Amino acid sequence: MRFAVIAGSQGFRWLEKLQGRADRIGPVATPFGSSAPVYSFVENGIEILLLSRHGERGYEVSAPFVNYRANIWALKELGAERIIAWSGPGAIDRSISVGEIVVPDDVVDETRRRPGTFYEGLGIGFIRQNPVFCPEIAAGLRQAVIRKQGYCRERDVYVCTEGPRLETVAEIRKMALYGGTLVGMTVCPEVFLARELEICYCPVCYVSNYAEGTVDRPYVVGELFEGMLTAEERARVDEAVALLPEIILEAFAGLPKARSCPCGRSMERYRRRGDIGDDWHTWISKSV
């Protein structure tokens, strides 16, 4: 079984550390265009695919313009059955600290223009979304976070916005009203696309800042997030980002070899009905 990592805005730094140890597979051609470049490496006997969502050398592609369908297709094509994705959301809930590492429990999709399904024009894809994240990976990640951080929150709700702009104060108030505790730009539609191809998926997040209006911060021209992050908070964020590879690798190492979660059988109803066969490539051939 191959594991996969979709690395976030600092993902290129992991690639830099893996120089000489990782094989560059490169972009994968898919019916939805080329994926981001994929790398392969082995850690403690585990083969891992690594895809840096926003670019190989820096933040080259912002969240709304990532080719999510191509990326998920590529990882499936290369044999991935489990994906851990990292994201750097802001904190809506003031009790969450900047630099804290969290494993969300649920998601609210506020994106607007991103293709969110492989099954356009087809009568399949009505898939239950509870639990939305793989419970096996989530449990493994939480255990790894506790070992590194000493604790791990539960029941956080990630609100995924379109971007690339940050949210307004009124928008954050709205998100808080319906239970959002984190706000970011990258979990959707990744999680839904992975479920459509029966891949386990769970994010692990480092909290990159307080969301607009959560704390009072003056506007500072020319700084990251225009002054929403203090120097001390930035240092904590850097420490958290440095821990993510260790947490992810530890979580993968602790997972059972065989999957017992529902993620790998999400399309079973359509198999039993005769709508799809065993070759997942044919599931979406009519829509591409």
Q: What is the 3-state secondary structure (H, E, C) of 77-125?
A: HCCEEEEEEEECCEECCCCCCCCCEECCCEEEEECCCCCCCCCCCCCCC
- Of the two residues 58 and 271, the one the predictor is more confident about is 271
Torsions phi, psi of 123, nearest 5?
Answer: -95, 35
Domains of the chain: residue spans and CATH: 2-287 (3.40.50.1580)
Question: Tens digit of pLDDT for each residue in 110-169?
Answer: 999 999 999 999 999 999 999 999 999 999 999 999 999 999 999 999 999 999 999 999
Q: Which of 61, 1, 35 is nearest to 185 (CA)?
A: 61
CA distance 78 to 81: 9
Q: What is the mean pLDDT of residues 243-263?
A: 95
Q: Which of 153, 160, 180, 171 is nearest to 112 (CA)?
A: 160
Q: How far apart are the first and last CA of the chain?
A: 28
Give the length of the chain.
288
Split at pLDDT 50, 70, 90, the class of 230 is confident
Q: What is the mean pLDDT of residues 70-82?
A: 98
The alpha carbon dihedral of 235, 15, 53, 156 has a sign of: negative
Is residue 288 pLDDT above 60, yes or no? no
Angstrom CA distances, 23 to 48, 89, 245, 282, stand at: 11, 30, 17, 29
Contact residues for 167 (Cβ-Cβ < 8 A; gap 6+) = 161, 175, 183, 211, 212
Contact residues for 16 (Cβ-Cβ < 8 A; gap 6+) = none
- Of the two residues 219 and 236, the one the predictor is more confident about is 236
pLDDT at 19: 82
pLDDT at 1: 59
Is residue 285 pLDDT above 70, yes or no? no
Is residue 170 pLDDT above 90, yes or no? yes
- pTM here is 0.95
Question: Tens digit of pLDDT for each residue in 254-269?
Answer: 999 999 999 999 999 9
Q: What is the mean pLDDT of residues 181-197?
A: 98
Is residue 287 pLDDT above 70, yes or no? no
Query: Cα dihedral angle (1, 188, 214, 164), rounded to 10 degrees?
Result: 120
Question: Tens digit of pLDDT for each residue in 18-71?
Answer: 888 899 999 999 999 999 999 999 998 889 999 999 988 888 999 999 999 999
Q: Which of 66, 50, 185, 204 is nearest to 133 (CA)?
A: 204
pLDDT at 156: 98
